[in-house]
Amino acid sequence: MEPRLSTAFHPQTDGLTERINTVVEQHLRAYVSFLQDDWVDYLLRAKFAGNNQVSETTTVSPFFANLGYHPRCDFELDIRRDIPEEQQAQTAVERIQHIHDLARTEMQYAQAQQQENADRHRVPAPAFQPGDLVWVDGWNWRTEWPSQKLENKHLGPYRILGTIGTHAYELDIPATIRKLCTFPVSLLQAAAEDPLPGQVIPPPLPIIVEGEEGWEIDEILDSKRTRGGRFQ
């Protein structure tokens, strides 16, 4: 299988897993006690019920798709002596392959329908190139501002370093802000260089102190309080 890494704050990338988790939560919610400390006792039953449920996408249950038969609640001894074991194994392999082909076809059909319905209300995604400046939607960023309502809605701009897949980009974000550097295109917005003269304010000129260029403080290594109550 080809691994497909998901991006943060984009649940559509791993929608199938999120949907399964939601179904399991609904099952456990109906059986757990008020203290909710016995949910582990019902986890195996929830797993069995989920694996035995026919999927609307594949038209078969996960149990049937993996093993080729439904779970049995009793024991039946059914051994064919007139058929060689090699032929039985080959028949089982062909049966599993046929089930997988059917499930794969049904999944592709369901994905095509979902994509067609979703694309009706979407605009084409913008295409960015390495080196472009973009703004990042800040609705899910936690900063040191007291109120998120009065905080900037878009953060940056940050420069694009490269493309991840078809709808995600890696940004040049300082490590002091956050470790996450990959974002889906839905959270990015192109930043204009200088659409109107004077709109983008250039950085101020360096401060000259005694004939030499002054420097800003990056980090305070140590401090102390004087007798008068001031910090040094």
Query: Rounded to the nearest 10 degrees, how much is the dihedral formed by the CA atoms of 32, 38, 44, 45?
Result: -30
Residues 137 and 108 in one domain: no
Residues 25 and 112 in one domain: yes
Q: Which domain holds residue 96?
A: 11-119
Encode pLDDT of 146-187 as tens digits. 776 777 778 878 888 888 877 788 888 877 766 677 888 888
Residues 91 and 151 in one domain: no
Count: domains in the chain: 2
pLDDT of residue 48: 83
pLDDT of residue 63: 82
pTM of the model: 0.46
Residues 148 and 88 in one domain: no
Burial label for 190, CB within 10 Å (0-12, 13-18, 19+), is: exposed
Encode pLDDT of 54-96 as tens digits. 787 777 888 888 877 777 665 555 555 666 777 777 777 777 7
Q: Is the pLDDT of residue 9 over 70?
A: no
Residues 155 and 182 in one domain: yes
Residues 113 and 137 in one domain: no
Residues 153 and 63 in one domain: no
